[in-house]
Amino acid sequence: MARPEKQETSSSVTASSEGGTGRLVLAGTWTVETCQARSDELGSALQGLNGAGAVEVDLAGIGRFDTAGAWLVHRTAARLKEAGREVRLRDLSENQRILLEEVGENAPGAPQPPRQRSFGRELVEGTGETVISSYRDVRELVVLLGQTTLIGFGLMRHPGQARYTSLIFHLEQIGLRAVPIVVLISLLIGGIIEQQGVYQLRGFGAEIYSVDLAGILILRELGVLLTSIMVAGRTGSAITAEIGSMKMREEIDAMRTLALSPTAVLIMPRLTALMISLPLLTFVSNMACLVGAGLTAWVYIDLPPQSFISHLRTAIDLNTFLVGMIKAPFMAVAIGFIACREGLAVEGSAESLGARTTASVVKAIFTVIVLDGFFAMFFSAMDI
């Protein structure tokens, strides 16, 4: 069998010094195959030019010359210049000149030391970036609100176009499957509120009024707020992850290619399911909290369930119950819009998906707390 021809890899690097001027003569092949050997030869040759000032690099003897060879010559010249020496390239061919210019334009520069920035500047820049990001989020949410409103009016005119299968599926996922965790946590929270109320009022001999405290607090504020926070963490993150994963796999782009609206297909069923499920979960949470409070009152102050219910009926009225329930649909809309918006903002990386999912939960929880505060001030001003 014929042996393959050995590639020609001969080259030479000659260093000399005369009259205070160093001279490097390069010859032979300067390609990617010979780059390592030429680098070693250049290193040895440069050691003999330590005492020279200016350095002339003669390229007349170079035969084959590619980008790797050009980079090696450029790197050598750059190191000599960093050492304070003048470098002159001689006898370049047109192709060699073009390659060296191209390598010089694209060669990475020396790393710059990190800039020292003052705390005030970082604070101002961070505040500005946060304001701009918040403005963009609000703008996108307004656009999404407009799209869902138009689609909602269209579905009211043509109910047959609604995606009932998807709606029922999300009602099960968002509402039915959340009942156990909502009941468990609400039961515990209701018991804790009653226990603390009894503990604080015992010094005044007014333990019985802990029933009033628990009933009003649970029905007006805590039931809907606790449920909204749990839904934001459980369902909001799931919605963001689902839509974000579809965005990463370009399924949403495929929907648009098929003339399907992602808002109608993905967002409306989830948003509608949230608006139906959250009030129902709030009612379940209220009942579970009251059961927990009643059991705790039975244990701590020996108040039977019949007496607890009787005293609770005198402490609360229908408005107390409705104040909490009215908030639930608004909480659902806020959670749904934020979760869907963050899902649509996911880019093509797992890091982006994780960041958007985290942002969805944080923003949703913050928003429902702010909304609850606004409602509390509004109902107080209306004396409700």
Per domain, the residue ranges of the chain are: 11-106, 134-381
Q: What is the pLDDT of residue 2?
A: 40
List, as one string, the DSSP characters of 58-113.
EEEEEEEE-HHHHHHHHHHHHHHHHTT--EEEES--HHHHHHHHHHHHHSPPPPPP
The 10s digit of each residue's pLDDT in 280-321 is 999 999 999 999 999 999 988 888 989 889 988 888 888 889
3-state helix, strand, coil in the chain (%, to 5): 75, 10, 20
Length of the chain: 384
pLDDT attached to residue 8: 45
* Model pLDDT, residue 32: 79
Residues 223 and 282 sit within 8 Å (Cβ to Cβ): yes
**Which long-range contacts link 316-322 to residues 24+ away (Cβ below 8 Å)?**
316/212, 316/215, 316/216, 316/219, 319/384, 320/215, 320/216, 320/219, 320/220, 321/219, 321/286
pLDDT at position 169, please? 92
Which token pair is 150? Answer: 């138009």
Q: What is the four-CA torsion angle of 45, 51, 56, 57, rounded to 10 degrees?
A: 10
pLDDT in tens, 219-244: 999 999 999 999 999 999 999 999 99
CA–CA dist 105, 315 (Å, integer): 80
CB 186 within 8 A of CB 289: yes
C-alpha angle 272-371-200 in degrees, rounded to nearest 5: 120
Which parts of the chain sit beneath pLDDT 50? 1-11
- What SS3 state is found at 16? strand
First to last CA, the chain: 100
Distance CA 219, CA 226 (A): 11
Which residue in 268, 256, 255 sits closest to 336, CA to CA?
Answer: 268
Distance from C-alpha of 178 to C-alpha of 238, rounded to nearest angstrom: 12
CB atoms within 10 A of CB 57: 19
d(C-alpha 95, C-alpha 49), whole Å: 28
Q: Which CATH superfamily is domain 11-106 in?
A: STAS domain (3.30.750.24)
pLDDT value at residue 86: 78
Q: Which of 317, 320, 334 is nearest to 379 (CA)?
A: 320
Q: What is the pTM of this model?
A: 0.68
